[in-house]
Amino acid sequence: MTEWAEVADGVFQRRYDPLDISICVVRGSRGLLVVDTRSSPQQADEVREHLRELGPHPVVAVVNTHAHFDHTFGNQSFGGVPIYGHRRVPAHLQAYEAPMLADWLARGEEPVEEWAAVEITAPTALVDRELRLLVGDRTVDLLHLGRGHTDNDLVLHVPDAAAWIVGDLVEESGPPMYGSGCFPLEWPGTCAALADRLGASDVVVPGHGRAVTRAFVETQQAQLAEVAQLITELHATGVPVEQAREAGAGRWALPAEGLDPAISAAYRALEPPAARDRRTP
């Protein structure tokens, strides 16, 4: 049984399965700002039901922390209000999420009726590096701090509540996820840029898991940096990409079974452009 947790003054988090996804709300004087929309319109409609528990206020805007399906495939249920997202979200949706959805539909992936209902809906208001929103009497800053979990991660800062909603730049209920469109070599720097802005007791809500503070973010930043460092080292010593995970056994700062996408993305980034060109038929 899920419920809203008021993690900071007027800032709410609700953790939904599948995937223990965080849906967050900033409640202002005249409405609700909803952060992320779950994996399907049916799941988003359930969120809309639950929003009534937060009072009579209407939803005035939605923010997508990044393009991954579990954060955006419910967007269509929030028609009529602006949906904010980083300017590279539409390209990511097209490059990764749309083909993945097509594949799930072709294979009859469960829950079939939910995937069939998804109409991939891009944000309607695109953000580059920074945008200040006013939710009634409250200020919410949207910030893109660099590439990392994807090239389109946005974090939200609610200054009057000392709260941050950071999407999958930070994860608590599992290790940070290297998924489609990740930038493993840049993620540590982006996470450090986030940590630099945090007060020691600021509330940080991850995309998956319970709210944390700066110390947790710093620990995760160090793990991401160690992983990036080891991949760089293995690449530099000529270890082939398909042997890198094994070659680093015992030295990975994060569970090795999740690192293949990190290794392949980092190797691609480390190869000189000429080598990449030669491989193109």
Q: Other CB atoms closer than 10 Å to residue 238's CB: what's the count?
A: 6
Residue 209 DSSP symbol: S
Considering only 24-32, 63-71, 103-111, 266-274, which stretch makes contact with Zn ion by CB under 5 A? 63-71
Q: Which residues contact 111 (CB under 8 A, 6 or more apart)?
A: 40
CA–CA separation, 82 and 59 (whole Å):
10
Which residue, 20 or 248, has its beta carbon nearer to Zn ion?
A: 20
Kindly state whether residue 202 participates in binding Zn ion, applying the rule CB under 5 A.
no
Among 20, 97, 114, 168, interactor with Zn ion by CB under 5 A: 168
Which residue, 183 or 248, has its beta carbon nearer to Zn ion?
A: 183
Kindly state whether residue 147 participates in binding Zn ion, applying the rule CB under 5 A.
no
Using CB under 5 A as the criterion, what x/- string covers residues 234-253 for binding Zn ion? --------------------
Which residue, 138 or 150, has its beta carbon nearer to Zn ion?
A: 150
Tell me the residue type at 233: E
Q: Which residues contact 274 (CB under 8 A, 6 or more apart)?
A: none
Give whole-number Cα distances, 140 to 27, 33, 63, in Å. Answer: 11, 9, 11
Using CB under 5 A as the criterion, what x/- string covers residues 13-52 for binding Zn ion? ----------------------------------------
Kindly state whether residue 68 participates in binding Zn ion, applying the rule CB under 5 A.
yes
261 upstream amide cis, omega within 30 of 0: no
User: Which residues of the chain form contacts with Zn ion (CB under 5 A)?
Assistant: 68, 168
